[in-house]
């Protein structure tokens, strides 16, 4: 189920607001896979809260517990991370990474760039729709793949959780040149 959020932004004085908004939306789409479905310009300059409420909000912000890993930049799994043993992770999302290859984002904030071998494993386990992979638990382990005819160590994926059997089945579209239609001659 899609989630929707409402955000109010204000351009800093002296900045081109629409240009900054476009850049902001582009970054949200490309890096977070969040698309704007509705954007409205408003002239409302009234404060959103009174000063007493602002003080309460500021004290709440100072005492809010935060997961600081998301501010550390991208952390990708490497062979060294699984050399001592497999790691279990839960898939939080899938985004398009560099070179137009998918990157799996885990609940921990770490990512794994998906090669063809891991892509086939995930498709076999959870289907071709990336949304069906979200929430699934996988194991990352050290294995070998053939790369340009030579064996090479790699981080491989092993599905742990099973897909939801009650999930609605997706129909495959029929080809355009289907001959299932009866015609009267």
More confident: 168 or 139: 139
More confident: 47 or 28: 28
Mean pLDDT across 152-159: 96
How is residue 130 written in tokens?
């990336």
Share of the chain above pLDDT 70, in %: 70
DSSP conformation class of 130: G
Domain boundaries, the chain: 8-42, 69-159
CA distance 54 to 171: 51
Is the pLDDT at 65 greater than 80, yes or no? no
Is the pLDDT at 182 greater than 70, yes or no? no
Separation of first and last alpha carbons in the chain: 47
Mean pLDDT across 44-65: 57
What's residue 25's pLDDT? 83
pTM of the model: 0.52
What's residue 34's pLDDT? 83
In this prediction, residue 142 has a pLDDT band, given cuts at 50, 70 and 90, of: very high
CA distance 130 to 18: 32
Q: φ, ψ for residue 112 (rounded to 5)?
A: -135, 120
Residue 21 · residue 11 · CB < 8 Å: yes
Burial class (CB in 10 A: 0-12, 13-18, 19+), 122: buried
Residue whose entry in the numeric block shows the structure tokens 């699934």: 136
More confident: 71 or 82: 82
What's residue 185's pLDDT? 45
What's residue 40's pLDDT? 76
CA distance 173 to 170: 9
What's residue 3's pLDDT? 77
Residue 92 · residue 134 · CB < 8 Å: yes
Is the pLDDT at 174 greater than 90, yes or no? no
What's residue 61's pLDDT? 58
Is the pLDDT at 78 greater than 70, yes or no? yes
Mean pLDDT across 27-36: 83
């Amino acid at each position: 189920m899609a989630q929707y959020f409402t955000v109010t932004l204000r351009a800093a004085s002296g900045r081109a607001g629409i240009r900054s908004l476009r850049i902001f939306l582009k970054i949200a789409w490309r890096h977070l896979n969040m698309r704007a479905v509705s954007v409205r310009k408003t002239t409302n300059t009234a404060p959103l809260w009174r000063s007493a409420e602002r003080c309460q909000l500021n004290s709440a912000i100072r005492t809010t517990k935060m997961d600081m890993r998301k501010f550390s930049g991208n952390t990708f799994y490497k062979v060294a991370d699984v050399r001592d043993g497999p790691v279990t992770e839960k898939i939080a999302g899938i985004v398009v990474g560099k070179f137009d290859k998918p990157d799996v984002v885990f609940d921990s904030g770490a990512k794994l760039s998906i090669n063809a071998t891991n892509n086939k494993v995930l498709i076999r386990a959870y289907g071709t729709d990336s949304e069906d992979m979200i929430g699934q638990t996988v194991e990352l382990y050290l294995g070998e793949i053939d790369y340009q005819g030579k064996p090479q160590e790699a981080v491989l994926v092993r599905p742990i959780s099973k897909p939801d059997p009650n999930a609605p089945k997706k129909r495959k579209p029929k080809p355009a040149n289907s001959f299932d239609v009866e015609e009267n001659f």
